[in-house]
């Protein structure tokens, strides 16, 4: 006979345990002390195990019957109610301890093992964007409770302010984070899948502004008379003379320069394209050849001056003004361009586009220009060449480019003779030295170990032997011009 609420209330302790049956395996267990517990007994693998459904009166008769029916449904589906309960309890514990922020911290630490730190690195972007846009909303929520709608809400908020690139990065990171959670915390599904299907269309990319060749004479005159820190001026000149990225310039240290051979040897971990190769091919920096930047004589003179003025505490070629152990800020270079009147007309990275556009317009071989700028090559055959290729062709090309810059600067001065004189300096560039071309044998430039340039008083180190592959159609080495000699007189050695 089924139980009633009245019968349950009247069930008194008798000094011994007894059971009041309800039906379909449900029963009320009354202990010797009077405690009342709901039990459900079921058939499983030839046995009659039982499971507790809670205590009375916390669980009423009606609620106990509902729990019994749920347990019977599990048994009918071949699921052991005891195992199902343990899984639910585990999930509840995981939900409480695995908030979105907790899983993010774990995922971020995992990514840090394969990502390079730095102000403009992917890792710094992850930290900045999650802190600003994602953690305030999603951080406290359980990773198990976050839905695709929750993710869409924060992404649409980012898109509404026009930050489409940031939203695209967030979609990628969401997908990586939730796939990580599926393995680490047993998340059952990935709510970030297919979010790109509903992404707002990106606006047209606005590239870094750059200058055309006809604008360079006026720019060079303004750079010559720049009244700020001399290191900043020399840094901008190096960008213009070499075409390297601002990050490669800011990360440059004295040990990278072999001035005897007029080479800047940039390690692969400092080069954007080589970093991508290292990640894709799962190689360390010793397995990827360095990025070789041939230096024109004007660049060699600048590097020699920077090394001469190097302080004992200084680590980088271009140090931070107030923190000599740190490198110059990218904002410093861009701020200098703004003070020169080039706001929205030129940036530090835009100088690369200036160099690239000019060299291509001057008719230089595309491969030489691409190799000088360390651009990724979509041609698989050409992409197999390393960064030691075309060094001698690039050396002649960049020397010609540097000579043209000198000529344009003199033209700019002649066009504006009333230009204010240079600000007084406590340092002057030494005369531009002549550099002998490297010997070529059988189409290869063979170089013996050379001394790496260092600052005054520093111990000289030996650089490794490099074999530089050169094309047989290389151009002759330009000679010192009258313009260069005049420049050396304008900027006498100290």
**What DSSP character marks residue 2?**
-
3-class SS of residue 324: coil
- How high is the pLDDT of residue 433? 45
Cα 336 to Cα 357: distance, rounded to the nearest angstrom = 22
Please list the residues that pair with 285 across neighbouring strands. none
Per-position b or e across 455-491, b if 16+ CB within 10 A of its CB: eeeeeeeebeebebebeeebbeebeeeebbeebbeeb
Q: Is the dihedral of CA 401, 407, 412, 413 positive or negative?
A: positive
What is the value of pTM for the model shown? Answer: 0.56
Cα 479 to Cα 451: distance, rounded to the nearest angstrom = 24
Residue matched to tokens 């449900």: 26
Question: Taking every pair of C-alpha atoms in the chain, what is the biggest distance, in angstroms?
Answer: 118
Cα 75 to Cα 80: distance, rounded to the nearest angstrom = 6
pLDDT, tens only, 460-491: 333 333 333 333 334 344 444 555 555 555 44
Cα 26 to Cα 126: distance, rounded to the nearest angstrom = 54
Q: Which two tokens stand for residue 480?
A: 């010192």
Q: Which two tokens stand for residue 396?
A: 């002649």
Cα 129 to Cα 134: distance, rounded to the nearest angstrom = 7
Which among 295, 168, 162, 291 is positioned nearest to 241, based on CA atoms? 295
User: Treating both helix axes as pointing N-terminal to C-terminal, what angle do 391-415 and 366-373 enclose, rounded to 10 degrees?
Assistant: 90
pLDDT surpassing 90 at residue 137: yes
Contact yes or no for 331/196 (Cβ under 8 A): no
pLDDT surpassing 60 at residue 88: yes
Which among 267, 274, 220, 264 is positioned nearest to 243, based on CA atoms? 264
Contact yes or no for 398/406 (Cβ under 8 A): no
pLDDT surpassing 70 at residue 420: no
Least confident range from 25-39, 121-135, 144-158, 370-384: namely 370-384
- How high is the pLDDT of residue 384? 38
pLDDT surpassing 60 at residue 184: yes
Q: Known catalytic residues?
A: 245, 272, 349, 352, 375, 385
Residue matched to tokens 């007029």: 262
Q: Which two tokens stand for residue 91?
A: 């999930």
3-class SS of residue 3: coil
Mean pLDDT of 1-7: 85
Phi and psi of 303, rounded to 5°? -65, -40
| Surface-to-core class of residue 45, CB atoms within 10 Å of its CB (0-12 exposed, 13-18 middle, 19+ buried) | exposed
CB atoms within 10 A of CB 346: 23
Least confident range from 202-216, 422-436, 462-476: namely 462-476
Which among 361, 385, 430, 329 is positioned nearest to 213, based on CA atoms? 361
Contact yes or no for 371/387 (Cβ under 8 A): yes
pLDDT, tens only, 46-86: 888 989 998 998 999 999 999 999 999 999 999 888 888 88
3-class SS of residue 241: helix
Residue matched to tokens 């990065």: 169
């Amino acid at each position: 006979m089924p139980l009633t609420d009245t019968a349950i209330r009247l069930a008194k302790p008798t000094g011994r345990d007894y059971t009041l049956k309800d039906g379909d395996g449900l029963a009320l267990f009354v202990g010797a002390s009077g405690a009342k517990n709901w039990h459900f007994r079921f058939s499983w693998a030839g046995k009659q195990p039982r499971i507790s459904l809670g205590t009375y009166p916390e669980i009423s008769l009606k609620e106990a019957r509902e729990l019994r029916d749920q347990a019977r449904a599990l048994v009918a589906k071949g699921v052991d109610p005891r195992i199902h309960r343990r899984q639910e309890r585990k999930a509840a514990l995981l939900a409480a301890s695995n908030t979105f922020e907790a899983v993010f911290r774990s995922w971020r630490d995992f990514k840090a093992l394969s990502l390079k730190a730095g102000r403009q690195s992917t890792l710094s972007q992850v930290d900045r964007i999650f802190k600003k846009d994602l953690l305030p909303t999603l951080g406290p929520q359980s990773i198990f409770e976050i839905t695709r709608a929750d993710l869409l809400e924060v992404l649409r908020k980012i898109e509404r302010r026009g930050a489409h690139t940031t939203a695209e990065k967030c979609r990628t990171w969401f997908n990586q984070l939730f796939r990580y959670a599926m393995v680490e915390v047993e998340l059952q599904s990935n709510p970030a899948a297919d979010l790109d299907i509903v992404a707002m269309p990106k606006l047209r990319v606005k590239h870094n502004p750059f200058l055309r060749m006809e604008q360079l004479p006026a720019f060079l005159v303004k750079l010559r008379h720049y009244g700020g820190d001399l290191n900043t001026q020399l840094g901008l000149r190096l960008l213009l003379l070499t075409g390297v990225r601002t990050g490669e310039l800011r990360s440059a240290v004295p040990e990278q320069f072999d001035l005897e051979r007029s080479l800047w040897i940039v390690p692969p971990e400092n080069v954007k394209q080589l970093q991508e190769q290292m990640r894709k091919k799962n190689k360390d920096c010793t397995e990827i050849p360095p990025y070789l930047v041939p230096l024109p004589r004007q660049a060699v003179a600048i590097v020699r001056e920077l090394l001469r003025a190097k302080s004992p505490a200084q680590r980088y070629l271009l140090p931070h003004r107030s923190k000599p152990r740190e490198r110059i800020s990218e904002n410093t270079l861009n701020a200098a361009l703004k003070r020169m009147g080039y706001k929205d007309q030129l940036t530090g990275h835009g100088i690369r586009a200036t160099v690239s556009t000019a060299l291509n317009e001057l008719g230089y071989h595309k491969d030489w220009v691409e190799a000088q700028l360390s651009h990724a090559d979509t041609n698989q055959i050409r992409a197999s060449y390393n960064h030691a290729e075309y060094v001698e062709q690039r050396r002649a090309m960049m020397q010609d480019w540097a000579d043209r810059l000198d000529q344009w600067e003199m033209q700019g001065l002649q066009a504006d003779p009333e230009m204010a004189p240079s600000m007084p300096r406590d340092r002057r560039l030494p005369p531009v030295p002549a550099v002998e071309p490297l010997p070529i044998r059988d189409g290869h430039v063979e170089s013996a170990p050379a001394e790496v340039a260092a600052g005054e008083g520093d111990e000289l180190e030996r650089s490794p032997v490099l074999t530089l592959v050169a094309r047989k159609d290389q151009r002759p080495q330009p000679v010192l011009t009258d313009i260069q000699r005049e420049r050396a007189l304008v900027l006498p050695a100290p």
